[in-house]
Amino acid sequence: MVTSHKAILESINPSTKEVLGRVPIMSKVQVDEIVAASHKAYEIWQLTSYKQRAKYVLKLRQVIAARADELAQLISEEVGKPLAEAYLSELTGPLDTCVWMVENAEKLLADQSISLSNPLLSSKQSLVAFEPLGVVGIIAPWNYPFSIPMMATIMSIMVGNTVIIKPSEKSPLIGIKIGEICQEAGLPHGVVEIVTGDRETGKYLSEAALNKLIFTGSVQGGQKVMAQCADNLTPLTLELGGKDAAIVLPDAPIDWTCRGITWGAFTNAGQACASVERVYLIKGKNTEKIISKLTKLASGLKLGPGTSDSTDVGPLVDEVQLAKVKDQVEDALSKGATILTGGKAREDLGGFFFEPTVLTNVDHTMKVMTEETFGPLLPIMVVETEDKAVELANDSQFGLCATIWAGKLERAECVARDLNVGTALINDCLFSHATPQLPWGGIKKSGFGRSHSYFGLYDLVNIKHISIDSAGGSHRVWWYPYGKAKVKMARGGIQMLHGKMTERPVGLVHFVGNMFVGPQSENPTGKAAIKPESEAAKTDANPDKPQ
């Protein structure tokens, strides 16, 4: 968490409110200089081979692993997450991305040949080559301050792009640490750059000459960034907020489901874009048992500073986040919700703490069921049918993830297919962001584009089509000259290839019969018509014909 004074950001430990460090807020001039340096570095970096880049990425992996304790400690101090989460949710994703990229990037981005179905194109060969884009900007949030920018960085540099990261103003020290790690891994100057600062700094970066921007953050931030990218038409991926629903089917295994949902709701103090933000419990014989188990598990979680080994739930990142959570609880209570456990801020603990909270008697008139909470609240709504649960889950401006908890997996898969989201997980939650092979991204106000997986790789390259024609014959039938015969030929060709079966022979006759008739032959001036292609081929001494 951070407060800003003039051109300096103060990084604050949200567990203690102590100042952890100070970093500069970079100006437009500084950002532009860094963008220029990144373009310069790209000139060389794009020429390196996959093998050469893989060496750097493997070294990066070694450095992250060797400095894991120091990284986990800093992450825990700067954003308050429990140490176990700092290791598991922040470091494993980037480390696995290094391995996956080194083993697969070259294979996944090998040239692809494309077969063409139209007989008129039979002399052509088409292939797709994947080339780096240039300079990729990564504007990152504070809630996964290491894994989000690192995974995007590793994928970007592996395909030959250079990268500029703008860490959140609430986690600038982790951003600076990423820069240090890249330096220690020996990456050439300019391949990974860090710009520290606030939203204004982010604005300078998004308006600069980038070849791609990946923005992860709030909907409001994403909307502004999209406008800021418009002038340069910078291609953009937006990874925004969520309001992820958990649907519990009547046959869900009680213990597994309750433990999973408890973790999904309270990990990172609920400050995950894909955390379980609302539960739809389909009425059945276990309804009461599930509610009471979820309440018991939540009330047993230990609130405290992230750096303590025994902490389950850390603080919120700052007072803004704390105020938002308090507001949602008050709104829900004023509209008839019931608190089963928690419900209070715990600033007596020294930081921005809020108790893990379970609510029932909630509905969609309440903010807690419709707006992103980003805090440790677990509202549970009991519904009569599966259809109602799906309808309510889809009644959202967001479409990031959803989870389904069930015994019968085929049934759960049907529900998954009915949900309007980018990711639907059955009997687990949240894990897939840290798994580099799996696509990540949302629909609706959760954003667009995909990161991670080979879909994410395709977003980081220029998908270049190369077509090669063997240049047989004298010309192509769609080239000039035009005329009546060309129109008849074209009409015949469409009939021949796509008309009713009975019309196709007539189409063939018109097509072939008019194929070699030039406009001159129907032209009263009587100038020579273009020779038929077959004849032209026989006598062709075309000096321009490529060899």
Which residues of the shown chain bind ligand NAD in the complex (CB under 6 A)?
139-144, 148, 166, 168-169, 198-199, 202-203, 206, 216-218, 221, 224-225, 228, 239-242, 273, 372, 374, 400, 442, 447
Give the whole-angstrom CA distance, residue 189 versus residue 43.
12
Active site residue 239: yes
Backbone phi and psi for residue 186, each to the nearest 5 degrees, phi listed first: 85, 10
Cα-based distances in Å from 185 to 54, 60, 178, 197, 461: 12, 5, 11, 24, 24
Residue 219 beta carbon to ligand NAD: minimum distance, rounded to whole angstroms: 7
Residue 177 beta carbon to ligand NAD: minimum distance, rounded to whole angstroms: 16
For ligand NAD, the closer of residues 265 and 281 by Cβ is 265
For ligand NAD, the closer of residues 187 and 421 by Cβ is 421
For ligand NAD, the closer of residues 34 and 400 by Cβ is 400
385 neighbors 282 (Cβ within 8 angstroms): yes
Choosing from 239, 355, 372, 386, the catalytic residue is 239
Name, in order, each residue with C-beta under 8 angstroms of 240's C-beta and a sequence gap of 6 or more: 216, 217, 218, 219, 221, 222, 273, 398, 400, 442, 445, 446, 447
Residue 220 beta carbon to ligand NAD: minimum distance, rounded to whole angstroms: 6
Q: Which CB contacts under 8 angstroms, 24+ apart, belong to 43-51?
A: 44/188, 45/132, 45/157, 45/160, 45/161, 45/162, 45/188, 45/190, 45/191, 46/131, 46/132, 46/134, 46/160, 46/161, 48/160, 50/105, 50/106, 50/158
Residue among 180, 153, 164 at smallest CA distance from 53 = 153
For ligand NAD, the closer of residues 353 and 374 by Cβ is 374
For ligand NAD, the closer of residues 85 and 169 by Cβ is 169
For residue 275, the 8-state DSSP code is S
For ligand NAD, the closer of residues 20 and 497 by Cβ is 20
Residue 143 beta carbon to ligand NAD: minimum distance, rounded to whole angstroms: 5
The stretches of 300-408 forming alpha helices (DSSP H) are 319-334, 367-370, 386-394
17 neighbors 28 (Cβ within 8 angstroms): no
Choosing from 182, 273, 401, 429, the catalytic residue is 273
Active site residue 273: yes
> 245-265 burial, b if ≥16 CB within 10 A, otherwise e?
bbbbbbebeeeebbebbbbbb
The dihedral sign for the CA sequence 233, 239, 243, 247: positive
Residue 210 beta carbon to ligand NAD: minimum distance, rounded to whole angstroms: 12
Residue 466 beta carbon to ligand NAD: minimum distance, rounded to whole angstroms: 34
177 neighbors 127 (Cβ within 8 angstroms): no
Q: Give me the residues paired with residue 214 across strands.
A: 138, 237
- The continuous run of DSSP H or E covering 340 comes out as strand 338-341
Give the whole-angstrom CA distance, residue 393 versus residue 316.
26
For ligand NAD, the closer of residues 314 and 492 by Cβ is 314
Q: Give me the residues paired with residue 5 across strands.
A: 8
For ligand NAD, the closer of residues 195 and 290 by Cβ is 195
Residue 375 beta carbon to ligand NAD: minimum distance, rounded to whole angstroms: 11
- With tokens 């200089």, the residue in question is 33
For ligand NAD, the closer of residues 423 and 495 by Cβ is 423
C-alpha count within 13 angstroms, C-beta hemisphere, residue 447? 32
Give the whole-angstrom CA distance, residue 269 versus residue 317.
9
Is residue 353 classed as helix, strand or coil in its secondary structure? Answer: coil
For ligand NAD, the closer of residues 372 and 459 by Cβ is 372
Residue among 223, 229, 136, 169 at smallest CA distance from 9 = 169
Cα-based distances in Å from 66 to 178, 430, 477: 14, 26, 64
Residue 149 beta carbon to ligand NAD: minimum distance, rounded to whole angstroms: 9
Residue 152 beta carbon to ligand NAD: minimum distance, rounded to whole angstroms: 10
Name, in order, each residue with C-beta under 8 angstroms of 448's C-beta and a sequence gap of 6 or more: 237, 238, 441, 442
Residue 248 beta carbon to ligand NAD: minimum distance, rounded to whole angstroms: 23
Catalytic residues: 239, 273
